[in-house]
């Protein structure tokens, strides 16, 4: 197999074969109650961008090795405005694990966010995955929690029963100048009622 390639699509433009494979991988990682993949879409207000790492086969025989979604919005933290993006639904194929595919895609997502002009990347992950994301260029923020949901119905990442850590990338001079304010902080992300915590 030649080197896998990365493709990106707005969520509304994802080809049907790639969406079906990504949904199947998500079903394997996070089984639904029905046992069937659920094609739940992100909130369009978060400008969802879908990234796929694919085998470099012909377009009618390509295989998804890993996929993730990037969601974006503006946020205000300690009186300052930032363009922020985060990772969602990061998943890799169990049949192709251990070959660095997930790490390559997560690193590419960081680069994609930087090229978009966002000030920072910001998301949570399960705490055992911290080292994986750090190895792909993301920074751990100790003591930091993201407050998801809405202002009226918040959904904090440090709620009881969650074992989440917050990862970040400070991508512009504006973000780097105030990076320290994000450590040990509660950040009002509030992506809405659909993507309660990206």
Query: Residue 121 has what pLDDT?
Result: 98
24: domain CATH number is 3.40.630.30
Q: ∠ CA 27-102-68 to the nearest 5 degrees?
A: 55
Residue 195 lies in a domain: no
pTM of this prediction? 0.94
Token duo for residue 149 = 């949901």
Backbone angles phi, psi at 27, to 5 degrees: -65, -40
Residue 198 lies in a domain: no
Number of domains in the chain: 1
Percent helix, strand, coil in the chain (nearest 5)? 30, 35, 40
> Sheet of 80-92: strands edge to edge?
5-10, 49-54, 64-77, 80-92, 120-126, 164-170, 139-141
Residue 82 lies in a domain: yes
pLDDT in tens, 149-162: 999 999 999 999 99
Domain with 64, as residue range(s), is 5-188
Query: Residue 22 has what pLDDT?
Result: 94
Residue 197 lies in a domain: no
Residue 57 lies in a domain: yes
- Residues 62 and 79: their CA atoms lie apart, in Å, by 46
CA atoms within 13 A on the CB side of 160: 0
Residue 35 lies in a domain: yes
Which segments in the chain show pLDDT lower than 50?
none
> E strands, the chain, where?
5-10, 49-54, 64-77, 80-92, 120-126, 139-141, 145-149, 154-156, 164-170, 186-188
Query: Residue 31 has what pLDDT?
Result: 86
Residue 66 lies in a domain: yes
Residue 42 lies in a domain: yes
Cα first-last separation, the chain: 33
């Amino acid at each position: 197999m030649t080197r896998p390639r990365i493709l990106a699509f707005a969520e509304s433009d994802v080809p049907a074969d790639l969406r079906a494979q990504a949904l199947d991988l998500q079903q394997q990682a996070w089984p639904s109650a029905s046992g069937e993949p659920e094609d739940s879409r992100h909130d369009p207000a978060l400008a969802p961008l879908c990234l796929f790492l694919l085998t470099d086969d012909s377009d009618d025989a390509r295989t998804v090795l890993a996929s993730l979604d990037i969601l974006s919005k503006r946020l205000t933290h300690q009186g300052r405005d930032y363009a922020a993006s985060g990772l969602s639904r990061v998943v890799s194929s169990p049949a192709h694990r251990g070959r660095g595919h997930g790490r390559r895609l997560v690193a590419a997502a960081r680069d994609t966010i930087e090229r978009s002009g966002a000030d920072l990347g910001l998301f949570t992950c399960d705490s055992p995955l911290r080292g994986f994301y750090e190895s792909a260029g993301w920074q751990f923020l100790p003591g930091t929690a993201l407050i998801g949901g809405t202002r009226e119905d918040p959904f904090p990442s440090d709620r009881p029963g969650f074992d989440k850590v917050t990862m970040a990338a400070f991508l512009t001079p504006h973000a780097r100048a105030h990076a320290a304010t994000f450590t040990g902080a509660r950040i009002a992300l509030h992506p809405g009622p659909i993507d309660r915590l990206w």
